[in-house]
Amino acid sequence: MTMQDKLFFGLFGAGFWVVGTIFYELRGPHVFESSSQRYWINFLLTPIVSAAICILLLKWRHVPAAGWASAALLIAFPGMFGEAALLSDFARFMPRLHPETAGRYGSFLFASYALFLTIAEMVTIRATGPAGS
């Protein structure tokens, strides 16, 4: 992976996080606070869609399978750090949402990051073989 790729993935991750955060600031009450059914549908679909977008990006940039875990971390870290800051003062950064929604929002994000990072790690492990061989 070139330095240009590394910068691109970090900037993409930051941009993806900003767009997602703005979307959930505006639409969050509808997603998180309107009904349990709507929340769980979004809880299942959003990680899948987010992971698919990131996987398509890795394929578009021709990242070798052995480099997927590293590239995935470059994409995920800006948003993970941003979310840590956001969740530390949720009511100030997400004023349209009730403060008690922070847990739902955090678990929603955790599932999204976990799915993408797990897939990337599995691809990398498969490409590099078992440890110690």
Convert the pLDDT of each residue in 24-45 to its tens digit: 999 999 999 989 999 999 999 9
**How long a stretch of residues is the chain?**
133
pLDDT at 129: 80
131 confidence band (pLDDT: 50, 70, 90) = low
Which residue in this structure is represented by tokens 């600031």? Answer: 25
Q: Say if CB 69 and CB 126 are below 8 A apart.
A: no
Query: Cα torsion at 95, 98, 101, 105 (round to 10°)?
Result: -20
